[in-house]
Chain A
Amino acid sequence: MSANLVLVVVVGVLFAAGVYLLLERSLTRVLVGVILIGNGVNTLFLVASGPAGRAPIVGLNDVDDMSDPLPQALVLTAIVITLGVTAFLLAMAYRAWQLNGNDEVQDDVEDAAIRRRAELDEVSSSYDDSAGGTMDEEGADEPAAVASSPDGDPAAVGPEGEQR
């Protein structure tokens, strides 16, 4: 099978640009990335179908000269699906913008809460261990030193932990 080099390069560029955009935080950019990759995949299907031939209509052209019609049918389906998903993503980006004033993908709230709790644990255990005030590198900064002075109560570090 011989592949068209230009098409292969186009596929590569579309994928590269699409992946770059997909890694962004803004939903609109993600959307553009999806569209680019979607078109990249469609072009890849054309590469997969082999060299171009004549229109695949029985009776009009000789069977040996025809291009492969199956990938074109597959691409049509893929285009329709990409269209639908794009519309949904667009609506979602708009809704996110309505709600938050931006369309950025946000961190998970619970994950952040658990991370914060883990940090609090770390700090408070260092208090318990080091009654004399020797701090690990985590808690060596100024506010921690202030918080440590009362009685090493973990609750006292609460606000400090949230600052991080």
Chain B
Amino acid sequence: MSASVLVPLPVILPLFGAGLALALGRSARAQRVVSVVVLALMVAIAAVLLVRADADGPQVMHVGGWEAPLGISLVADRLSALMLLVSAIVALCVLVYSLSQGLVEYGPDTPLSIYHPTFLILVAGVANAFLSGDLFNLYVGFEILLAASYVLLTLGGTADRIRAGSTYVVVSLASSIVFLTALALVYAATGTVSMAQLAGRLDELPDGVALLLQLMLLTAFAIKAAVFPLSAWLPDSYPTAPAPVTAVFAGLLTKVGVYAIIRTQTLLFPDSPLSDALLWAALLTMVIGILGAVAQDDLKRMLSFTLVSHIGYMVFGVALATDDGLSGAIYYVVHHIVIQTNLFLVAGLIERRGGSTSLERLGGLARLSPVLALLFFVPAMNLAGIPPFSGFLGKLGLMQAGVDDGSWLAYVLVAGSVVTSLLTLYAMAKAWNRAFWQPPSSEELSSEAEAAGATTDLHGKPVRTDGAVLTGKAAVVMRAGMAGPAAALLAVGVALTVFAGPLFGLTDRAAADLRERTPYIEAVLPGGAP
């Protein structure tokens, strides 16, 4: 059990790094070194945790030496460790991308000194949410990452970002309040917030009380995960942030909500009376989300809508509550974190190269920048679920689980997911054709130059693009530091396909653990629940 010493590190290290980066605020170079080193360490720690959790069962750390029902316990089982590893990789790539973006846009000596500390705190909050073994610590993890995300979303304080930010902050606050209220009621009903202990005690509650608690927790998490009736805030608020910020939000924040749904549904409410309702929510999330994406003309907004839509796939897997369904959902979460982040990073590159993300204004990028075209094409097809890619495998796994389930509602969901993936393909093909394939007209060229002036950077100031698109003299070159992380994520996405066998093996085992519940409970409460 020596690896359990490592369990709190993914939370402590970024917090420590954030403090250090804030203290080193005067030196951009030192801040960069601190954040990159911290995130690289996190990737390594998460990898070790995943190997140990897979080999030896859940790794538990009782913080401060207080045993489980009383103290705060941090638990890394297969699911948490896998999520942690993927998030750390994604966060590292996004950070490297944003470093390079900052360098280009202000010169080496004018960094935004709060960006790095805030980013690290966001990562700490995500890690805390994944590892937390009790509901209240999960709430604290959510609040840490939300507070950091408020700051990142409103960086620079321009009118646009304040407008988008106010919706986002108020909606997030509302979901936090629902969550906290649910916590108070959970404590009143059971006298504990430790998830392992709750698993036993919730079973003893009257059905109606348990249902109310489940409904409140689900509502809170569904807002954070952007499940359909509660998803309207997301496409409004994400696209206005700087590209790397949107990318990390899209990759991680909604997935923390999905993780919380998976964890509470499987551990606390295994025989959920709400699974039919969840299936309906999944269906509506998929279909309505993708219809929104099809209607959009702006690439970033289109991607935000596909993000909402594909959350539906994960909820579908969770609602089935079978081994195969959960396994498919976990695989899909991993795939989607990587691919969606990748697409938003590429959208940032497109914005820089083409001067805009509006599909009305873009055109002919394939000729201007074949590398960029490739960087967009592969993850876009992956998202749509074209056969060799991981998106296809994840969807296939979910659909098989749906067919195995055999109820008519599951078949409707399978049909819905086919329609959704076809519409995703349509949306992506539309974006590809208009941004990369169709030749830019002369009128559009002049408007692109004008649009280039409207592009904003991390601070919300206009980026100097010097009319590069207009002259074709490539004043805006693709920075290796920006294209590199996007390419790295693309490679991770392809690796998810290549190593799909072992990965599905891992998610199968994780799903079996979740369904069985006892490994988790016994790891946290060795003597059984008091």
Contact = CB atoms under 8 A, between A and B. Distances in A.
Instruction: Decide if A and B are genuine partners.
Output: yes
A95 interface: yes
B200 to A, nearest CB: 18
B356 interface: no
B157 interface: yes
Interface in A21-72: 22, 27, 30, 34, 37-38, 41, 44-45, 47-49, 68, 70-71
Contact of B162 (A41, A84, A92): A92
Contact of A95 (B150, B162, B180, B295): B162
Interface of B: 70, 136, 140, 143, 147, 150-151, 154, 157, 159, 162-167, 169-170, 173-174, 176-177, 180-181, 183-185, 187-188, 191, 193, 236, 295-296, 298, 301
Contact of B173 (A34, A48, A77, A108): A34
A30 B170 contact: yes
Nearest to B70: A70
B223 to A, nearest CB: 14
Contacts of A114: 295
Contacts of A1: 188
Which 10 A/B pairs are nearest by Cβ-Cβ distance?
A48-B188, A44-B184, A108-B236, A48-B187, A99-B159, A45-B184, A81-B143, A48-B184, A41-B180, A106-B163
Contacts of B162: 92, 95-96, 99
A96 B295 CA distance: 30
A50 to B, nearest CB: 8
Interface centre among A81, A105, A109 (most CB of B within 10 A): A81
B456 to A, nearest CB: 15
Given A22-B170, A30-B170, A100-B159, A44 B236 contact: no
A120 B130 CA distance: 47
Contacts of B136: 74, 77
A74 B183 contact: yes
Contact of A85 (B159, B173, B185, B191): B173
A1 B190 CA distance: 11
B170 A105 contact: yes
Contact of A110 (B143, B154, B173, B301): B301
Contact of A78 (B154, B180, B185): B180
Given A84-B147, A95-B157, A41 B181 contact: yes
Contacts of B170: 22, 27, 30, 105
A138 interface: no
Given A48-B187, A74-B136, A77-B136, A27 B166 contact: yes
Contacts of A38: 177
What class of interface size applies to chain A in its complex with B?
35 or more
A77 B162 CA distance: 27
B511 to A, nearest CB: 32
A111 B235 CA distance: 10
Contacts of B143: 81, 85
Contacts of A100: 159
Contacts of B70: 70
A16 B162 CA distance: 27
A110 B154 CA distance: 18
A92 B165 contact: yes
Given A48-B185, A81-B143, A92 B236 contact: no
Contacts of A92: 150, 154, 162, 165-166, 169
Contacts of A20: none
A162 to B, nearest CB: 18
A111 B170 CA distance: 19
Contact of A96 (B166, B180, B181, B184): B166
Nearest to A98: B157
Contacts of B151: 88
A89 interface: yes
6 contacts: A27-B166, A34-B173, A74-B187, A85-B173, A99-B159, A110-B296
A114 B305 CA distance: 14
Contacts of B150: 85, 88, 92
A105 B167 contact: yes
Interface string A9-27: 0000000000000100001
Interface in A96-152: 96, 99-100, 105-106, 108-111, 114
Given A74-B183, A110-B301, 9 more contacts: A44-B184, A71-B184, A81-B143, A85-B176, A88-B151, A89-B169, A105-B166, A105-B170, A111-B236
